[in-house]
Amino acid sequence: MKKKIVLLCSECFSTTVIYNAVNNRYAIDRVITEQPMRGMNLAKRRMKKLGWFRVGGQILFSVLIVPFIRRAAQSRLKEIFSFYQFDETPIPAEIKTAVESVNEEACIRLLQELEPDLVIVNGTRIISRKVLESTKAVFINMHTGITPKYRGVHGGYWAMVNKDASLCGVTIHLVDKGIDTGGILSQGLIPVTPRDNYSTYPYLQFGEGIPLMLKAVEDFHFNRLQTRESLTKESALWYHPTIWQYLITRITKGVG
């Protein structure tokens, strides 16, 4: 019996790549996209949690440093894209439905109407318990970090900052109400070179993570999806680096 798959996501590069990789083997019935939080709304939300000083440093890093990092990595990015052969074919408009937030009632109603067996999550805000409990579907996600030690964002970068290359990788996990705390399905490490930096780690993680995601979807279809032990029992939540964190780390540890 065919199992129904829904992709619950934001509009971004990794969503397109994951859609094409999975859809080539197992048809995705619907793609539900949310509007990402941007600008002052996002800044205000972060300030409530982290304070204005830290958020200001993150904004300065994003505006003043990230463009230079990415420019310096152009040749390496071309190599990565060539090696992994990411499929960026646009997702067909007729199977996409837009919602303001994955946590709004419209999204819940849509999931209940669709009655999916599997929901693949990518790039959304934290999904509420109400959404997770609104359907009998299994929710899975690709996280760019080895959980639980590198939960949050930029797990590859922070692993390299901590001289923790043995835990620089990607995790496929079940989604629960926590932040990257769901049961682990599989984990893989990425092949970091001296030419890699903050802007290339995520693409290496996508490249290594896609086969793991495909294996998870396959296991789900054949009723053999199982959680396993993580590569680490340590747990920490990581955020975007500030401009001073990045510069100090670049000077003292040579991590770009």
Q: Hey, what are 139's tokens?
A: 């929710």
**213-224 pLDDT per residue, tens:** 999 999 999 999
pLDDT at 149 over 70: yes
pLDDT band at 44 (very low <50, low <70, confident <90, very high): confident
pTM for the model stands at: 0.94
CA distance 140 to 213: 9
Q: Hey, what are 82's tokens?
A: 């060539």
Mean pLDDT of 131-145: 97
Share of the chain above pLDDT 90, in %: 91
pLDDT at 43 over 70: no
Averaged confidence pLDDT in the chain = 95
Centroid of chain to Cα 201: 12
Share of the chain above pLDDT 70, in %: 97
pLDDT at 52 over 90: no
pLDDT at 37 over 80: no
Angle between helices 13-23 and 201-221 (to 10 degrees): 30
Which residues fall within 8 angstroms of residue 228, CB to CB, at 6 or more apart? 184, 185, 186
Q: Which contacts (CB < 8 Å, 24+ apart) does range 87-90 have?
A: 87/16, 87/17, 87/20, 87/21, 87/24, 88/13, 88/16, 88/17, 88/20, 89/16, 89/20, 90/16
DSSP, res 93: G
pLDDT band at 124 (very low <50, low <70, confident <90, very high): very high
Count of domains in the chain? 1
Where in the sequence is the domain holding 145, given as residue range(s)? 5-253
CATH code of 74's domain: 3.40.50.12230
Other beta carbons within 10 angstroms of residue 23's beta carbon come to 19
Can you give the pLDDT at residue 39?
61
